[in-house]
Amino acid sequence: MQYKGIIFDLDGVICSTDEYHYLAWKALADRLGIPFDRERNNLLRGVSRMASLEIILEKSDKAYSDAEKAAFAEEKNTMYRELLGRMSPADLSDDIRDTLNVLREAGLKLAIGSSSKNTRFILERIGLSNFFDAVADGNCITHSKPHPEVFLKAAGMISLAPDQCIVVEDAHAGVEAAVAGGFDCAAIGDAKDDERARYHLSRISDLLSDLQIKD
Ligand code: BG6
Ligand code: MG
């Protein structure tokens, strides 16, 4: 097997927090009278909180000040964290839990590479606080995906070069970031058919057959 490490995106890969992002942004957009739906929500995958807000505000007739934008982002994050607070280890699917354990037993280094500033809180909620060898998140980067910074940080934290790692992503911006950083990518969910990815997963456990890792 050519890889020594796997870098996982978090929202939409390890857990279904992408749905909570959608619900919180949708509540804000509805309050402001801005059209927003699930298709438009896909543009926000992998993108930072403020960049996501700017994409939503593109459909607004009004111009907002920086202070108003900061307040909107805070309002969304408060709603989002309320939803996250209801999560528990039961929100980690058996497919993901089992796959992570097999990958760990196979000796691979496992890391998180997420744009989210809520990464640590989410990992705590789903019982994975101490599972990963490294966590690179929205708090340690200056450029969000599609910039490769978060994946390069994660690879550095596990002392591997990009060509020794594979990135697992559900966002087109994340696939672009992985490729830009020199990583192979396994795409899942919304980005599953992205042609820039080397592997196309229907579920996380497909990694085990694609990478020829035996249980
Ligand atoms: C990414 C999500 O993981 O994190 C994006 O895919 C989100 O949708 C981004 O905007 C930032 O998240 P947070 O939790 O810092 O607002
Ligand atoms: Mg994602």
Give 116-136 pLDDT, tens digit per residue: 999 999 999 999 999 999 999
Please list the residue range(s) of the chain that carry CATH number 3.40.50.1000.
5-15+88-210
The pLDDT of residue 215 is above 70? no
Residue owning the nearest CA to atom 11 of ligand 1? 116
Answering whether pTM is above 0.85, one says: yes
The model's pLDDT over 195-208, given as tens digits with 9 standing for 90+, comes to 999 999 999 999 99
Q: Give me the active site residues, please.
A: 9, 11
CA nearest to 3, candidates 158, 187, 135, 148 = 158
Kindly calculate the radius of gyration of the chain based on its CA atoms and give it in whole angstroms: 17
Residues having CB within 6 Å of any atom of ligand 1: 10-11, 21, 44-49, 52, 77, 114-118, 138, 171
Q: How confident is the model at residue 16 (pLDDT cuts 50, 70, 90)?
A: very high
168 Cβ contact partners less than 8 Å away, ≥ 6 residues apart? 6, 7, 8, 9, 13, 185, 186, 187, 188, 201, 204, 207
Check: CATH 3.40.50.1000 for 5-15+88-210?
Answer: yes
Place of tokens 């940080």: 153
Distance 42 CA to ligand 2 centre (A): 10
Please list the residue range(s) of the chain that carry CATH number 1.10.150.240.
18-84
171 CA: nearest ligand 1 atom: 6
Query: What architecture is domain 18-84?
Result: Orthogonal Bundle (1.10)
Distance 189 CA to ligand 2 centre (A): 9
